Structure 1
């Protein structure tokens, strides 16, 4: 078994003081011709500022009272780029048996959360002695993600990340000389952004995600299934490529970029880059059909969201629908603020409210009736969908509960506000229950972006803890479970340690509220 093989793999040891730390990287064969297999390895300087002790609940509250929770990205991660170019190159080679382990771990632990690669296709080209720079770079960032979810290979995280980032930056300069590497480049930028988010370098993650967004736009992955002309049902990219799996990989990397865009925008109320209204790319098909190469087509997003009888879909699609609903609520809030600045208080929010509520209710019914209960789920994306569904309710109700927009837009009665408050409170209670389920899982079974919806919930609770004792009780429960969830950035720490680094940009003021102390 894989786990048994991992347990017997030699553990990295430390040399005497002043020497470099050893790792599971072994210098063996020369690099294939045409591929520069060099990276900067320096274990004397840490990529992440060291934290000497885990954060306790008491420590967290003290941080809040001192108002020292940083803004999003305020940790100095702009220095990463200069650091990457300031190192002296050293060869980085990995033995074949370690490569096999890392590949298998990727599809066991990373792919269930980020299903953008076809396993058989990847394994075919990964064994080639000579690969394009884009594919080599993709392979290194895949392995970097694996090491974050594996205590066995943890010492490889930093050198593998640096290797991938250096190659990616170098490849960007030679972009015009490459041909047929567009999909791998987009996949690499998506995975780099995911890796940086997991390492709590949020500003750098957003910049990398931005590269992915612009790439998928430039390559027109947002209109893969657009008819070539008004009289033809042939589609733009599917017609040009006879490889169905390749086309489906393009769809998947686009939708994962879309997913990242919406989740990152939720974190700080940022504008969404990939607009749902200009997308003409079908939703990804279920992973089983994708991996087996079945020639089936997914629906379009608008079809999936407006179907009269909601049906069972893949967890990835459920997440995309829910992220879209959050994006609609976010856009409405942003449009209201702009309209208020211009003095235009007219709004179609009542119609939007009804539309969002109906779709959200339908997706909640599908999740509860068509899928296993959360305590029986082992699929990270399906667990994430359950948490995101409750977060979507919070996001939706939060806007309705805001006193100023409520009175300015359509002046609802107080009973309507109370209904939203009770509904949001029930959603936070559901999230608390779900986090208790997460505590029973190995950290590799939890979606790497799980902190985002959980921290949205935490922010909402802090914002309303002075208005209702139930909110205060849920805060205490949530913080208790945060203390039990393992932080992938440091396996000796918990989600409590993420709060000073990963809170939403406006959380600092909320956490400094006297109601919390």
Structure 2
């Protein structure tokens, strides 16, 4: 036997199977000869290393990415805005790799984008396409669309998916549709931990694109609806990730366009025409949802600072929104009006969005009552009528709470909007009680127990809220968590006098924990958490009357009017 450790050639199949050292003798090796086994050598065995097509797939993907980069750097921006080529080039530029991986990092048109390749997708070779830039864009576009409808749409259920995917694939879509799509992608990127770096670029392009549409807006324009929807989505982004006051001003643009389009009276016409045509009914329902989301946004943005409303409910000719299932499947359903559902509170459960509209309206009416009471310009008879109306509204809120209340373990609470509705109903009870205190009405211990139970219910609902992650939580959820924490802390001295007394610090700890989790995707949670943990909080509670949501923390690290409050001490 030679000095070589292993003989040249291939080992036989029997030795390979038994993991024995084969001496490669032919026609039969020693092992097979001793065991009386036929010695078979497979000459067509595949060589070791990556599977066939694996390296080729990697090379093709690298070539695709390089083509995207080169195409984004080579194409200049045309002057006249929103044709197909401009849209494709700008999208490619937004989806470029990060600066440190870009060949020409000095180019101002390169924006961050990370691209990951799943190992499962490398088993099949990829043939280079004629337009690799469009191939890369299609993958990212599909990802952003999916993120939007998975994480953003559940709390802003405004768009019909079928209608969106129909017009989004058209190469000649109007500029208003392009702007709406950019704002959708902006919120989608903000709702993904891996696409955060795209936010700044998408925000800049979306805002500039929407502002350029002012000359195209008219009451009978088809662009009115998409423009209003784009402004609403942009408001949600600014409210969660930027400045509260900026979001409030941006919301004003949406409200004015909605008023221009007269969405508050779309059901003044004969509804039977829409009921007979599914497509027409779906479009009308999308308009209803756009109006009602703006309606709720108007009240939630103004409720803590008690600013005047833009969208009023005195003369509405519009039905409440239907369930999400009926909307997406195009099943024509006739809902009741807002006034009818308020009058018949407690008779039936409404879809989450419709329930939110009713509860927010009841709460806002209580704010109006409080303002009248604080004005000092009412007679004793009017004061009695005011208190009677407040008590009637409070009873309606309690009826709705009993109707929709769910335990924190209920599977229905996986729906973020249903969860928010349950929190809002409990928060409304606390809110009405706070107004009773502000009006200096005599309150007995039994009356105090009702908002106390609601505050504890919100503590319990904070668990499913944080389990779903801050990306899918309703943007105004921190306001309700803060309201509960404010009530528990402000009434800590009363809790020791009632039989349901529990560990106050434990409850406050649960609410603070929820706010800490939510602050990763919501500046409002950060502002409320800072106020709860500040040393001045106890001083606020002892000096200031509890009013509405107590202190108007509005999504900034430093709450609005913070210095004004400090000056009062």
Kindly indicate whether residue 480 of structure 2 is the aligned counterpart of residue 442 of structure 1. no
Query: Which one of 115, 123, 131 corresponds to residue 157 of structure 2?
Result: 115
Quickly say closer, same or farther: Cα 1:495–1:504, change in 2 above 3 A: closer
Deviation per CA, 1:214-266, whole angstroms, max 9, x where unpaired? 11111111111125xxxxx5689999997111111111100000010111122
Deviation per CA, 1:377-420, whole angstroms, max 9, x where unpaired? 21000111111111111111100012xx23xxxxx4442xx444
1:423 aligned partner: 450
2:251 aligned partner: 209
Quickly say closer, same or farther: Cα 1:489–1:219, change in 2 above 3 A: same
Quickly say closer, same or farther: Cα 1:414–1:257, change in 2 above 3 A: closer
Contact kept? 1:225, 1:238, Cα under 8 Å:
no
Q: How does 1:185-196 map to 2 (within 5 A)?
A: 185-196=227-238
Q: What TM-score comes out, normalization by structure 1 length?
A: 0.73
Contact kept? 1:322, 1:360, Cα under 8 Å:
yes
Kindly indicate whether residue 191 of structure 2 is the aligned counterpart of residue 149 of structure 1. yes
Secondary structure at the aligned position of 1:487 is classed as: helix
Q: How does 1:463-478 map to 2 (within 5 A)?
A: 463-465=490-492, 473=505, 474-478=507-511
C-alpha distance in structure 2 between counterparts of 1:240 and 1:180, whole Å: 19
Contact kept? 1:397, 1:424, Cα under 8 Å:
yes
Quickly say closer, same or farther: Cα 1:178–1:157, change in 2 above 3 A: farther
C-alpha distance in structure 2 between counterparts of 1:26 and 1:488, whole Å: 30
The alignment covers a number of residue pairs equal to 429
2:283 aligned partner: 246
Query: Which one of 183, 186, 205 corresponds to residue 225 of structure 2?
Result: 183
2:171 aligned partner: 129
Quickly say closer, same or farther: Cα 1:178–1:301, change in 2 above 3 A: closer
Quickly say closer, same or farther: Cα 1:281–1:434, change in 2 above 3 A: same
Shift of 1:194: 0.5
Quickly say closer, same or farther: Cα 1:465–1:352, change in 2 above 3 A: same
C-alpha distance in structure 2 between counterparts of 1:374 and 1:247, whole Å: 33
Shift of 1:144: 0.7
2:536 aligned partner: none
Shift of 1:174: 4.0
2:103 aligned partner: none
Kindly indicate whether residue 325 of structure 2 is the aligned counterpart of residue 288 of structure 1. yes
Shift of 1:421: 3.2
Shift of 1:322: 1.1
Secondary structure at the aligned position of 2:303 is classed as: helix
Quickly say closer, same or farther: Cα 1:495–1:101, change in 2 above 3 A: farther
Secondary structure at the aligned position of 2:314 is classed as: helix
Higher relative contact order (CA 8 A, sep 6+): 1
Quickly say closer, same or farther: Cα 1:489–1:157, change in 2 above 3 A: farther
2:414 aligned partner: 378
Kindly indicate whether residue 560 of structure 2 is the aligned counterpart of residue 501 of structure 1. no
Quickly say closer, same or farther: Cα 1:401–1:445, change in 2 above 3 A: same
Contact kept? 1:187, 1:253, Cα under 8 Å:
yes
2:389 aligned partner: 352
1:311 aligned partner: 348
Shift of 1:137: 0.6
Shift of 1:431: 1.3
Contact kept? 1:224, 1:236, Cα under 8 Å:
no
Contact kept? 1:141, 1:188, Cα under 8 Å:
yes
Q: How does 1:66-145 map to 2 (within 5 A)?
A: 90=109, 95-145=137-187
Contact kept? 2:408, 2:464, Cα under 8 Å:
no
Kindly indicate whether residue 337 of structure 2 is the aligned counterpart of residue 300 of structure 1. yes
Shift of 1:426: 2.1
Q: Which runs of 5+ in 1 are unaligned?
A: 1-9, 11-21, 44-87, 228-232, 407-411
1:453 aligned partner: 480
Q: Which runs of 5+ in 2 are unaligned?
A: 1-57, 59-64, 97-106, 112-132, 532-552
Secondary structure at the aligned position of 1:211 is classed as: helix
Contact kept? 1:325, 1:356, Cα under 8 Å:
yes
C-alpha distance in structure 1 between counterparts of 2:70 and 2:358, whole Å: 46
C-alpha distance in structure 2 between counterparts of 1:308 and 1:503, whole Å: 39
Deviation per CA, 1:271-325, whole angstroms, max 9, x where unpaired? 2222222211001111111111112122111112222752122111111111111
C-alpha distance in structure 2 between counterparts of 1:201 and 1:263, whole Å: 15
Deviation per CA, 1:89-129, whole angstroms, max 9, x where unpaired? 84889711100111111111111111100001000110111
Q: Report the structure number with the largest CA radius of gyration.
A: 2
Quickly say closer, same or farther: Cα 1:27–1:457, change in 2 above 3 A: farther
